[in-house]
Structures are given as C-alpha cells and as structure tokens.
C-alpha cells in the first residue's frame, strides 16, 4: 500500500482558526486574558473534539469563539500561521491554501490589511522553518467573508488588493442556510471582473440549491464540501441519472473540497464508510481530500486518507488521483500546478509499475 506519510500531499480546504495547537491556544489565552474551558493541553484538545462531535453545525461553529478570541493581534496571527505551516509540512503537505476571515480578527484594533499581512508573514516564517528541516512547502491564503455578515464586498476587495501578497482566492463560510450566496450579487461580478478565483462553502448544511447558487451566481471554481450534490442524482438499478447542477459540476469537473471527518461531526455524513466521497469518486466527480478543521477533528491530511483506506476501502489509485486533482485545481498558476503534479508523479514513479498506468 501507498506510504501515505511520504506521499506529497496538497490541501485546498483548511481553516486557519480551526487548526491551532492546544498548547498555543493556552499560551495565547494567557497573554490576552481569555478564559478557556481548561488549561490542560490534552484536555483542551479533547474538549474541542467533543464540542465539535455534537452533530450540529451551529454547535460546531461555537468552538471557534475560543480560537478566534486568541487570534486578535499581529503576533498571535503570525504564530498561528507559522505553526499551521510547520504542522502541514510535517504531515507531508507540499502545497496548501489556508482560509480565514480577517473581519473576525479586528477586536484588538488590527486593520484588515494588517491582519492579512500578519498571516502572510507568519506563513513565510513557517515555510522557512519547514525548509530548515528539509521539508519543502508552499502556502497561500484564501480570504473568507462570513455569510451572515454584510462585509462581502469589502472583504472581496481586500482579497483582490492582496493578490500579490499570497492571497489566491475568495470564499464565503459560516451559516449556510438562510444566507444564500446571491445575497450580494455585485460581489461575484466584481470578482469575475477582476479574474479572481472563487471557492464557496456550499452543499454542507444546505442542499443542492445552495450549490447551484454558488456555481451559477458566484462563478465558483471549487465547492467547499458540496457533498449534498448527491441529492441531485437519482440512483437506479441500471445507473445514475444526473440533475442539471450535478451534471454541470461533474461534466465541467468543478472540484469538490470534501472533508470526511468534519462532515461526520456536523451530521452531514453518518460514517466514513457511508460518506458521499466514495460514491462521488465512482461517479467521476473531481474529488479532493481535505481536513477542514484539524483541531476540532483531531486530524491531518494523512489521517483523512488513512480513514478512507481503512473504513471505505480506498486504494492507492484513489489517493493518488485525489491528490493529483487537488494539485491541478489549486488557485495558482498553471506552471506552479504543473510542478506540483510532477512532484506527485515522480513520487509515484517509485511505486510498482502497475500503479503508474492509472495516472495520466
């Protein structure tokens, strides 16, 4: 079987405020006077997992009040970004896009621009620290606006303004039901006019209509989660028939940023074995494997892959294909994406010959 730890991995969907080390939360909370459920690192890690295990997206999102509370200064943002990069590099990730919502990090007086620069600088430190340990990784930011708030346009302009600072895309996240992606249609037109890439959380807590809006109104190139696209497919004995939006997403190969463990915790899936990612893979959708929130799910890209192997019967070919799909759909230049693909293929060159034929 594939050496998952050694496989060069690509991560497209990971929240900066969902991936802190418990020790770091405790240390930052002491500095800013924020009180936590416990100050024992192990117990705090478990607290986050248990709170996130409640089966409700709303309850899951409550865990972020603590992580966001301790990420309100330049130093704190830099540290969290640096450590995230180091942790991903240690997991064998060679390219990642970290997403976060700057509007939630202004409580201590940071300006939006300053917050983005702090994360940029922290990422640079993390990349350098990883390189010092002979781990090569590249990391960019995705800037998120909160669905329920009304700052989408301002945040979209922030993302575009920092296009030269390693911000490679725009996203909306948070409460999906009741806050449709077409609430502020001008935002998507603005981003389209700027030729700025978009990914949208959709089809996680809400259904097919939410995915359709993300694709048709938001011009999303990738869908965060998107697992509910299955609701637009009718399964019969002689095969599957696709609704309009499911056919569009599959035939155009819009990328689904699937997050198996996270979906279990929010109730969007009942088990890894039953998770829609396997069915979507079989139907030819462009599936990728993501962590969403490493702290809340106590996970890593490697762990998500191992779960799919052990509980859903995924094989070497599946993992390589999902990794190549992620590399091909990163919001970076074609040349950079080609380099990632080459690294993954050259890793697979060292695999037995029968795996090579699966690859393009």
Nearer to Zn ion, 12 or 208 (CB): 12
14 binds Zn ion (CB under 5 A): no
Q: Catalytic residue, from 157, 176, 204, 304: name it.
A: 204
The window from 107-115, 124-132, 286-294, 301-309 that contacts Zn ion (CB under 5 A) reads: 286-294
Quote the CA–CA distance of 357 and 7 in Å, as a whole number: 17
Helices (H), the chain: 22-32, 41-52, 57-62, 64-69, 74-90, 112-132, 152-161, 185-193, 208-216, 244-251, 260-266, 276-282, 301-312, 316-328, 334-349, 353-356
Min dist. Cβ of residue 174 to Zn ion (A): 9
- In the bound state, the residue with its beta carbon closest to Zn ion is 292
Is position 206 an interface residue for Zn ion (rule: CB under 5 A)?
A: no
Interface segment toward Zn ion; rule CB under 5 A; list 132-140, 269-277, 288-296, 303-311: 288-296
Residue 23: CB atoms within 10 A of its CB come to: 13
- Residue 226 contacts residue 210 (beta carbons within 8 Å): no
Measured from the CB of residue 58, what is the shortest distance to Zn ion in angstroms?
A: 15
Q: Report the site for Zn ion in 118-177 (rule: CB under 5 A).
A: none
Report the residue number, 206 or 292, with the smaller CB distance to Zn ion: 292
CB of 227 to Zn ion, least distance (A): 12
Nearer to Zn ion among residue 99 and residue 135 (C-beta): 99
Q: Do 183 and 156 form a contact (C-beta atoms < 8 A)? A: no
Work out the angle between the directed axes of helices 74-90 and 22-32 (0-180°, nearest 10). 170
Q: Does 292 bind Zn ion (CB under 5 A)?
A: yes
Shortest CB 171 distance to Zn ion, Å: 8
What is the dihedral sign for C-alpha 347, 353, 354, 359? Answer: positive
Residue with Cβ nearer Zn ion (135 or 201): 201
Residue 224 CB, nearest approach to Zn ion (Å): 5
- Element of type H or E holding 225: strand 222-225
Shortest distance, position 87 Cβ to Zn ion, whole Å = 17
Q: How many CA atoms lie within 13 A of 47 on its CB side?
A: 18
Contact string (CB under 5 A) for Zn ion, positions 244-283, x = contact: ----------------------------------------
Please say which residue, 91 or 292, places its beta carbon nearer to Zn ion: 292
To the query of whether residue 316 is one of the catalytic residues in this protein, the response is no
Instruction: Report the residue number, 100 or 314, with the smaller CB distance to Zn ion.
Output: 100
- Report the C-alpha dihedral over residues 295, 296, 298, 304, rounded to 10 degrees: -110
Q: What's the maximum distance between 2 C-alpha atoms anywhere in the chain?
A: 62
Q: Which residues are catalytic?
A: 204
Q: Which residues of the chain form contacts with Zn ion (CB under 5 A)?
A: 292
């Amino acid at each position: 079987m594939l050496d998952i730890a050694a496989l060069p991995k690509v991560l497209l969907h990971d929240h900066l405020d969902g991936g802190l080390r418990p020790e770091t939360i405790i240390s930052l909370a002491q500095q800013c006077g924020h009180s936590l459920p416990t100050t024992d690192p192990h117990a705090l890690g478990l607290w986050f997992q248990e709170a996130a295990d409640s089966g409700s997206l709303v309850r899951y999102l409550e865990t972020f009040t603590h992580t966001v509370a301790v990420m309100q200064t330049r130093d704190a943002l830099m540290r969290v970004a640096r450590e995230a990069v180091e942790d991903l590099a240690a997991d064998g990730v060679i390219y990642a896009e970290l997403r976060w919502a700057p509007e939630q990090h202004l409580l201590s007086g940071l300006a939006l621009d300053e917050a983005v620069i702090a994360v940029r600088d922290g990422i640079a430190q993390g990349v350098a620290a990883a390189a010092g340990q002979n781990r090569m990784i590249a990391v960019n930011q995705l800037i998120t606006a909160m669905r329920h708030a009304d700052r989408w346009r301002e945040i979209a302009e922030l993302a575009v303004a920092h296009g030269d600072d390693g911000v490679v895309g725009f996203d909306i996240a948070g409460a999906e039901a009741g806050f449709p992606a077409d609430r502020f249609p001008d935002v998507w037109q603005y981003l389209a006019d700027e030729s700025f890439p978009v990914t949208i959380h959709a089809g996680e807590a809400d259904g097919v209509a939410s995915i359709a809006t993300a694709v048709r109104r938001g011009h999303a190139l990738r869908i965060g989660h998107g697992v509910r696209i299955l609701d637009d497919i009718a399964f019969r004995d002689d095969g599957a028939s696709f609704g309009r939006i499911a056919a569009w997403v599959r035939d155009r190969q819009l990328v689904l940023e699937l997050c198996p463990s996270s979906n279990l915790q929010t109730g969007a899936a009942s088990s890894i074995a039953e998770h829609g990612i396997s069915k979507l893979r079989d139907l030819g959708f462009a599936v990728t494997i993501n962590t969403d929130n490493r702290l809340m799910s106590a996970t890593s890209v490697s762990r998500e892959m191992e779960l799919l192997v052990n509980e859903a019967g995924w094989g070497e070919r599946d993992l390589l294909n999902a990794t190549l799909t992620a590399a091909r759909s990163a919001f970076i230049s074609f040349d950079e994406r080609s380099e990632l693909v080459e690294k993954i293929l050259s890793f697979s060159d060292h695999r037995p010959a029968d795996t090579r034929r699966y690859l393009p």
